Structures are given as structure tokens and as C-alpha cells.
């Protein structure tokens, strides 16, 4: 039955990704893909919080499937990140592409770490 929870979470995460991406990107007049960057960092933070809560036994497997695999899985997007990086490089914006990769990795890993640390401090 966890697969139904994954579907339900994804049904919320995918439109949330699209709407957030469009809202964030519309506020920036640059070539940097701020919308995808924002959803990936937010999803990483949420997954860190969820993982920390799950490791403390506060969150069960059903909620992990709903929010972790479903919502966060559909909210974050490695394929769009890869495509946008390639498009930046193809358009001669190699410096921006490298900055996008570096910032995405640093911010995503940092967000997971912060989320995990916050959850552990709250629940352990």
C-alpha cells in the first residue's frame, strides 16, 4: 500500500515544483535557473528533516513514503538540473553552468545536513 502513498505525494510534489519554479523564475531577470535551484534546495531540506525524524522513530514508513519518496521525489528534479546545466553550457554560459552545479551541490548538501541536524536536535 505504500505505493499509493508515493503516488499521492508525487501528485502534490510535481505541481508544486512547477508552480514554485515558475513563481521564482518570474522574479529573476537572469540566465541562472533560480526556480529549479529553489525547489531542489527546499526538497533537500525537507528530506533532511524527514530523514532525521524517521531515524528518531518519530515518523513511520508510510509518512516517509508519502513525503520522502512521493513529495520530495517529485518536487526535486535532477533531470531538469542536468538539462539546464547543459543548455547554459551550450549557450556559451559555461561560467554560469559551473556556478549552477557548484551552488546546487553545496546548497543541496548543506540543506540536507541542516534538516537532519535540526530534526535530530528536536527528536533525539
Specify the pTM.
Answer: 0.94
Phi, psi (deg, nearest 5) at residue 32: -70, 130
Which residues make Cβ contacts (< 8 Å) with residue 48, sequence separation at least 6? 111, 112, 113, 114, 115, 116, 117, 118, 119
Model pLDDT for residues 87-116, shown as the tens digit of each residue: 999 999 999 999 999 999 999 999 999 999
- By percentage, how much of the chain surpasses pLDDT 70? 100
pLDDT of residue 124 exceeding 90, the answer is: no
Average pLDDT value over all residues in the chain: 97
Model pLDDT for residues 36-63, shown as the tens digit of each residue: 999 999 999 999 999 999 999 999 999 9
Amino acid at each position: 500500500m505504500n505505493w499509493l502513498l508515493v503516488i499521492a505525494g508525487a501528485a502534490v510534489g510535481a505541481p508544486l515544483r512547477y508552480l514554485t519554479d515558475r513563481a521564482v523564475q518570474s522574479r529573476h531577470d537572469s540566465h541562472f535557473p533560480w526556480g529549479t535551484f529553489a525547489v531542489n534546495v527546499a526538497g533537500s531540506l525537507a528530506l533532511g528533516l524527514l530523514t532525521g525524524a524517521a531515524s528518531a522513530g518519530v515518523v513511520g514508513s508510510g509518512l516517509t513514503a508519502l513525503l520522502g519518496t512521493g513529495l520530495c521525489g517529485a518536487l526535486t528534479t535532477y533531470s531538469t538540473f542536468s538539462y539546464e546545466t547543459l543548455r547554459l553550457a551550450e549557450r556559451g554560459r559555461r561560467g554560469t553552468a559551473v556556478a549552477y552545479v557548484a551552488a546546487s551541490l553545496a546548497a543541496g548538501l548543506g540543506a540536507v545536513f541542516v534538516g537532519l541536524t535540526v530534526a535530530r536536535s528536536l527528536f533525539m
